[in-house]
């Protein structure tokens, strides 16, 4: 069974540009969450999507947005990039079970974004 796939693995962008990151969850998983990891702030929750709807949102500016498609694949977009957006962006896939039995989240290898 394939794991969580994030593309691209590495990305270098210039300040002011925008970027789109992609996440394909494990087959059958309907919930996708995004996290930003930096040395200074650690792991911070960005947002969660389930069945194409944003369920939860972290404390990030509106430049960070996301969406989920009908096949559960998710994309995250960051507009007007700033140097501080340089980070490892991790996507987590979980079952999204409606009976509250979600007990595992599987992460992808992440996209390492560098803003110069």
Partner 1 sequence: AQKITQTQPGMFVQEKEAVTLDCTYDTSDPSYGLFWYKQPSSGEMIFLIYQGSYDQQNATEGRYSLNFQKARKSANLVISASQLGDSAMYFCAMREGRGSTLGRLYFGRGTQLTVWP
**Which residues of the shown chain bind partner 1 in the complex (CB under 8 A)?**
31, 33, 35, 42-43, 45, 48, 50, 55-56, 58, 88, 90, 92, 94, 96-100, 102-110, 112
Q: Name the one residue in this structure whose structure tokens are 């996507």.
A: 91
Nearer to partner 1, 40 or 62 (CB): 40
Calpha distance 107→16 (Å, rounded): 28
Shortest distance in whole angstroms from residue 101 CB to partner 1: 9
Alpha-carbon separation of residue 70 from 24, 30, 48, 58 (angstroms): 12, 9, 15, 23
Nearer to partner 1, 80 or 114 (CB): 114
């Amino acid at each position: 069974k394939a794991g969580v796939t994030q593309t691209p693995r590495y990305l270098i962008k210039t300040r002011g540009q925008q970027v789109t990151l992609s996440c394909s969850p494990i087959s059958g998983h309907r919930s996708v969450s995004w996290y930003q990891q930096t040395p200074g702030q650690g792991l911070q929750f960005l947002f969660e999507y389930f069945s194409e709807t944003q369920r939860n949102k972290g404390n990030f500016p509106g430049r960070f947005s996301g969406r989920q498609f009908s096949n559960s694949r998710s994309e995250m977009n960051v507009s007007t990039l700033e140097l501080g957006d340089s980070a490892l962006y991790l996507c987590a896939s979980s079952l999204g079970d409606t009976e509250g039995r979600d007990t595992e989240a599987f992460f992808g290898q992440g996209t390492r974004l560098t803003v110069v």
